Amino acid sequence: MADARILVVDDERSMRELLSIMLKQSGYHVVAADGGEEAIAALGREPFDLVITDLRMRNLDGIAVLRAAKEHWPHTVVLVVTAFASTETAVEAMKLGAYDYITKPFKLDEIRLIIANAIERKRLQDENVALKRQLRKERGFEQFIGKSRSMLEIFETIRKTADSGSTVVVTGESGTGKELVAQAIHSESARRQGPFVSVNCGAVPENLMESELFGHMKGAFTGAIATTEGLFAAAHGGTLFLDEITEIPQSVQVKLLRAIQEREIRRVGDVKDVKIDVRLVAASNRNLAKAMAEGTLREDLFYRLNVIPIHLPPLRDRRDDIPHLVAHFIQKICRETGKDVRGVTPEALAILESYAWPGNIRELENVIERAIVLGGGPMLRPEALPPTLRSPSSVHDVPVEIPEGGLDLEATIDRIEQRYIELALARAGGVQTRAAELLGVSFRQFRYKLHKHTARAHRPT
C-alpha cells in the first residue's frame, strides 16, 4: 500500500516535519495535524489508513485522537508515540485499540519497519473485509434474482426466520436453488461468522451415513483408523445443510431426531455424548408428506424438521423472472470468461421465456453459458441457443393415452393449449399478432387465452 494515506499528529513542529518528510519519501500520502483538535477535525473529513499520534499534547492528547479515529473509521490502524520512560499511558492506548507504540527517541529505520508492518496490517484487514463482503454477497440475497410475488414472499420469510434458530425445510424441484436458500439463511443470521457445512445425503453410502453425520472413534469399525468429528461437530456454531434429507436411512433418522431435540450427538463407538450448537436446514426435491406416508421419512422427524417450510417454485411458474435471470447470468458468465456480451435479442428472449425449463435455474444458467461461449457478437441471438429450445420438440409431449387412474380432461386440454401458445410466441419472436395468426385465432382470442394461462400461473397456491 505505497499509496496509503497517513495522518501525522504532533504539536511539536520539528517531529511533525521529520515524520512527514520520511513518509513522503517512502511514497505515502501524508496529512499533518498540529495537535489533537486539528487531527480530530481531519478524521471527521476523510479516512486514513494509518494515524501516527503523539500521546502527550496540549489540549487534546493522543488518547482522544485514538478514540476519534476508532469512532470515525474503525479499521484505521493507530500508532502512538511517547517520549516518557513510563509506558502506562501507551499500554492504555493499546487496550483502546492502538496497533503499537513507539518510544522517543527512536531510530528512523526502526520506525520505518513498524510503519510498514502497520500498513500491511491495514491491507490485510481491508482484504479480509472485502472477502467477507464478497462471501456474503455470494451466499446472501444478491444471488436470488426475481421480482415475482412468490420469490418476494420467500425473501421475506428468510429475513424473518434467519435469526430465529428454528429448523427450516426447503422443498422444490432440482435446480431451483435450495442450497442458495440455506446459504442466505446462514448469511443473514447471527451465525454468519460460523461455518456453513453442506452435505448431499444422496451421495453418502448408507453404511457410512451415521459416521459422516456424527463422527466415529478410532477402531469403531473396520477402516476407522482415526477419530473423526463428523459434520454436526464441524458445523458447531454455524449452520448444517442436509440436502436430499429423505435419503437418510431410517436407523440414522432416529439419531438425527435425537440430535435435533437434545442438541447433542454421540460418535460411533463412543460412550459419551457431545453437546452441539447447530442450526439445521434440510432440503428435498420430493414431497415430504408423501415420503412420510410411504415410510421413507419418519413421521416424528418430519414434524421436527417442518418448523419453517419454504417451497421454491419451478422456473416455469415464475416466467416473469426469466429476463432478470438471463441478464444476471450474462453479466456473471462474461465476467468469468472474459466475453463481451451485452444482452439478448427479443427473439432469443421470447424462446427462453417460452421453454418449460425442466432443469430449472441450473439449466437456464448452463444454456446461457453455452450460448456465450459458442456464440458470437454483442447480443445473444436465437441461433446461439440449443436446437432443443428452438424446435417444436422443446415443448413437452402430452399424453396420448389414458392412464390407468384416468386423467383430468379439462386440465390436460389446458396444458396442450398453453404449450401451443408458448410455442407460437417463440416462433413469432414474441409478437402476439403473429402468434395469433400461427394458431388460427383472432388477436382478441389469443390475448384472452394468454391472459388466462398467465393468471393461472401466478395464482397463489
293-324 per-position pLDDT tens digit = 888 899 999 999 989 999 999 998 888 889 98
278 & 387 share domain: no
Q: Is residue 142 part of a domain?
A: no
The residue range of the domain holding 339 is: 315-394
Is pLDDT above 90 for 8? Answer: yes
157 & 265 share domain: yes
How confident is the model over 52-75, as a mean pLDDT? 88
Q: Looking up cell 420469510, which residue turns up?
A: 157
**Grid cell listed for 247:** 435419503
Q: Is residue 14 part of a domain?
A: yes
In percent, the amount of the chain with pLDDT more than 90 equals 22
Is pLDDT above 70 for 144? Answer: no
How confident is the model over 389-405, as a mean pLDDT? 58
32 & 119 share domain: yes
Collect all residues with Cβ–Cβ distance below 8 Å to 18 and sequence separation of at least 6: none
From residue 431, alpha-carbon distances to 180, 346, 351 in Å are 35, 10, 12
Is pLDDT above 80 for 393? Answer: no
| Residue 223 per-residue DSSP state | T
pLDDT tens per residue across span 149-174: 888 888 889 888 888 888 999 999 88
Q: Is residue 214 part of a domain?
A: yes
107 & 157 share domain: no
Collect all residues with Cβ–Cβ distance below 8 Å to 13 and sequence separation of at least 6: 34
Task: Give me the DSSP letters along 80-144.
Answer: EEE-SS--HHHHHHHHTT-SEEEESS--HHHHHHHHHHHHHHHHHHHHHHHHHHHHHHHHSGGG-
Mark which of 91, 111, 135 sits at the end of a domain: 135
Count of the separate structural domains present in the chain: 4
CA-based end-to-end distance of the chain: 56
62 & 39 share domain: yes
Is pLDDT above 80 for 1? Answer: no
Collect all residues with Cβ–Cβ distance below 8 Å to 416 and sequence separation of at least 6: 398
374 & 326 share domain: yes
Measure the CA–CA gap between 454 and 41, rounded to whole angstroms: 60
CATH code for the domain of 198: 3.40.50.300
410 & 442 share domain: yes
14-18, 106-110, 271-275: segment of lowest average pLDDT: 106-110
Q: Is residue 144 part of a domain?
A: no
Mark which of 394, 425, 441 sits at the end of a domain: 394
Considering only residues 439 and 64, tell me which one the structure prediction assigns the higher pLDDT.
Answer: 64
CATH code for the domain of 371: 1.10.8.60
Is pLDDT above 50 for 461? Answer: no
CATH code for the domain of 429: 1.10.10.60
421 & 341 share domain: no
436 & 376 share domain: no
**Average pLDDT in the chain:** 84
Considering only residues 460 and 243, tell me which one the structure prediction assigns the higher pLDDT.
Answer: 243
Task: Give me the DSSP letters along 332-345.
Answer: HHHHHH-----EE-
Is pLDDT above 80 for 86? Answer: no
Q: Is residue 219 part of a domain?
A: yes
Mean pLDDT comparison of 277-281, 402-406, 435-439, highest-scoring range = 277-281
412 & 268 share domain: no
Mark which of 374, 394, 414 sits at the end of a domain: 394
What's the predicted TM-score (pTM) here?
Answer: 0.57
39 & 118 share domain: yes
How confident is the model over 71-84, as a mean pLDDT? 84
Residue type, 57: M
240 & 175 share domain: yes
pLDDT tens per residue across span 21-42: 988 988 889 999 999 999 999 9
In percent, the amount of the chain with pLDDT more than 70 equals 90
How confident is the model over 357-375, as a mean pLDDT? 89
Considering only residues 270 and 254, tell me which one the structure prediction assigns the higher pLDDT.
Answer: 254
Q: Is residue 143 part of a domain?
A: no
Residue 142 has a pLDDT of 52
Q: Is residue 170 part of a domain?
A: yes
Entry field: residues in the chain: 461
How confident is the model over 188-209, as a mean pLDDT? 88
61-70, 233-242, 326-335, 435-444: segment of lowest average pLDDT: 435-444
Is pLDDT above 50 for 395? Answer: no
Is pLDDT above 60 for 460? Answer: no
Q: Is residue 103 part of a domain?
A: yes
